[in-house]
Structure 1
Amino acid sequence: MKKREEPKEEDEDEIVCLDESFFINDDYELTTFTFGSQVLQLFCLQSASTDFDLTGQLVWPGAIIMNNYLSKNTDMLQGCSIIELGSGVGITGILCRRFCRQILLTDHNDEVLKILNKNIELHATSESPTTCSGLAAEKLEWGNDDHLSQISEQYSGGFDLVLGADIYILDILSFPSNIYLTYFYLNCCKFILAYVSRTKIMDVLVIDEAVKHGMQVNEVQGTRSVVGNHEGVIYEITLP
């Protein structure tokens, strides 16, 4: 009589693990955006997963509010050197480059940096070389001293403006402090923040943390608007 084979232990305990690539969607669409007289085309997703912090793959309401504001106030960009925090697909930075002297786009996520660089290359080939000169991307995790030191060394002349549109992290309690410490480190003249209200606690922290770091926050009159179902506003934040 044939002896019955016992199941192998490893068969019972077999576990299927999914790596990061399972969650990544890179099926980007070339999308057209219009801000006043300015028309931009860039690659982005229409929706994105928050897994592995891939929120930078699409255009958020704050970026729409920021670009609407900047397109009406291009004089403030003329001749400026700018750094953008949390650039995502680059919609704000690419608009600014049409008017400013130099802009550095930054993001901390490697997958997002791929699409950001793809959009920079798209505009480098579709627009005049002078329009896209001075447009670059670097990795920057907010509050990371190594990243900040590298950028400060490479851009020793500093920046006139810091831009941030709809920027946040999942740990909302540490978000404002990390952002403001990054701004303080860069020692720029002004920080323009397109803020979108999603939680009451964040509404308070954005103001309180700036004051705690000795900064002055002013709401730009006439900039409150609704994109989708979210209300946003432009803040100008300055160091004393």
Structure 2
Amino acid sequence: MLESEPPLVVESDDDDTVCLGESFFLNDSYELATFTFGSHVLQLLCLQSASTDFDLTGQLVWPGARLLNEYLANNSELLQGYSTAIELGSGVGVTGILCSRFLREVVLTDHNDEVLKILKKNIELHESSENPSSCVALSAEKLEWGNSDQLNNILQKHPEGFDLVLGADIYILQISVPPLFDTVKQLLCQQGKERCRFILAYVSRSKMMDAMVIKEAIGHGLQIHEVDGSRRAISNLEGVIYDITLQL
């Protein structure tokens, strides 16, 4: 829960009213965890289980992030020739930080202020552990999909857009899908657009959502292709990698 939000008021059956402050939802008992993807080892602060508040799910690493990181680590040649990337719904930053080992600049984003705090801590942790001569630019920005002010703030700093947009396990509500693809289309680099792409690690939790993702991608003038061999079971769910590009 964000600091600007009022306490949640819960009314019980006996008409007693209970006010739950933000401390009821927040959990910052982060642990340093080690993740290995191919030959790459990352250490990140995160939670080991989900927060009470669904809006704070970015405090832990979800199955789709593991799926995407394994795919990128095992196919790192796909990133050759790209220089800039932006990750949507970064959470603790496990995907964006991995990509910073291959790219010149990576921007990690999340819409939740509490999640942004842990994201920035992990960026600092990563930068302190890397080669001090590394020239990779790694940063965090607030971005709620469909928020024009936040989107314009990012595009003012990166007017040419990004070569890559990344997303892993980033859906909660169906209402979030249209603004997600609105945001993706605006962030993708328009110059050399035959190469720019949105790489999405999707975990199926609803047949309705499955169809909606494909429909919205096409409706936004994007081409969506399932990466051959990427569909597999992950944490008792079905995951797949989608390669999404602008129509030429």
TM-score normalized with structure 2 length: 0.87
Displacement after TM superposition at 1:16 (Å): 3.9
* Partner Cα distance (1:138, 1:112) in 2: 11
TM-score normalized with structure 1 length: 0.90
* Partner Cα distance (1:38, 1:202) in 2: 32
Q: Which residue in 1 is equivalent to 2:51?
A: 49
* Partner Cα distance (1:22, 1:132) in 2: 41
Q: CA RMSD in A?
A: 1.7
AA aligned opposite 1:160: D
Displacement after TM superposition at 1:50 (Å): 4.9
Distance 1:207 1:52, change over 3 A: closer
Q: Which residue in 1 is equivalent to 2:236?
A: 229
Distance 1:98 1:130, change over 3 A: farther
Q: Which residue in 1 is equivalent to 2:3?
A: none
Distance 1:14 1:132, change over 3 A: farther
For residues 35-86 of structure 1, the C-alpha deviation after alignment (integer angstroms, 9 at most, x for no partner) is 1111111011111125160000000000000000000121222342000000
- Matching of residues 84-233 of structure 1 within 5 Å: 84-131=87-134, 133-169=136-172, 171-172=173-174, 174-188=175-189, 189-233=196-240
Q: Which residue in 2 is equivalent to 1:68?
A: 70
* Partner Cα distance (1:200, 1:91) in 2: 27
DSSP-derived class of the 1:164 partner: strand
Q: Are the aligned partners of 1:80 and 1:101 in contact in 2 as well (CA < 8 Å)?
A: yes
* Structure ID, larger Rg: 1
AA aligned opposite 1:223: S
* Structure with greater proportional helix content: 1
DSSP-derived class of the 2:242 partner: strand
DSSP-derived class of the 1:120 partner: helix
* Partner Cα distance (1:121, 1:155) in 2: 22
Q: 5+ unaligned residues in a row in structure 2: which ranges?
A: 1-14, 190-195
* Partner Cα distance (1:50, 1:220) in 2: 34
Q: Are the aligned partners of 1:20 and 1:52 in contact in 2 as well (CA < 8 Å)?
A: no
* Structure with greater proportional strand content: 2
| Count of residues in Structure 1 that have an aligned counterpart in Structure 2 | 227
For residues 91-110 of structure 1, the C-alpha deviation after alignment (integer angstroms, 9 at most, x for no partner) is 00110001111100000000
* Partner Cα distance (1:38, 1:194) in 2: 19
* Identical-pair percentage: 65
